[in-house]
Amino acid sequence: MGLLLGPLVLFWVGIAAFSLRMGWVMLEGRADLMALSLALGSLLAFAYLGLGLSRFRGLASLWAFEIPLFFAAGKLVSGACILIVLAYLFTPLASGPLVLKAFLFVLVFALSAGTLAGVFGANAFMQHYRITPTY
């Protein structure tokens, strides 16, 4: 399973690192907006994590890699992040409105951080809710 999950985790680590760089470049010189964006992105990441994990509450048993794959292989979230990164790379987004730049940074940061938290926090979630893993 590591052959599938490993590259997906590396992809999400890369997206998270790129989102931080994207935010740093687009919001340069605006430390107050950067701090607010990071706080809002963290809040949205926890909301995404909570919504994603809520579908697994109350289950008695679960495949050991179901939660990490649910987060890491999400098509909608992956597609949204890829589209935003491509828009950042290939459009003149740097000269756009500041609010749009902050919104795109918050969105990519929240989705990537929430995905990584879901992948790495799956075992703790399963232990907390006494869900037995099956292999």
DSSP structure string for 67-116: HHHHHHT-HHHHHHHHHHHHHHHHS-GGGS-HHHHHHHHHHHHHHHHHHH
Q: What's the pLDDT at 1?
A: 67
* Cβ burial 81-119 (10 Å sphere, 16+ → b, else e): beebbeebeeeebeeeeeeebbebbbbbbbbbbbbbbbb
Q: Does 125 map to a domain? A: yes
Would you give the DSSP letter of residue 131?
P
Q: Does 71 map to a domain? A: yes
Q: Does 23 map to a domain? A: no
Q: What's the pLDDT at 58?
A: 87
Q: Identity (one letter) of the amino acid at 78?
A: S
Q: In tens digits, what is the pLDDT along the chain, a chain of 135 residues?
A: 678 899 999 999 999 999 999 999 888 888 899 999 999 999 999 999 999 999 999 899 999 899 999 999 999 999 999 999 999 989 887 678 888 989 999 999 999 999 999 999 999 999 999 999 998
- Whole-prediction pTM value? 0.92
Q: Does 11 map to a domain? A: yes
Q: Does 69 map to a domain? A: yes
Q: For the chain, how many structural domains are there in total?
A: 1
Q: Does 22 map to a domain? A: no
Q: What's the pLDDT at 68?
A: 96
Q: Does 24 map to a domain? A: no
What domain range includes position 102?
A: 2-17+31-134
Q: Does 25 map to a domain? A: no
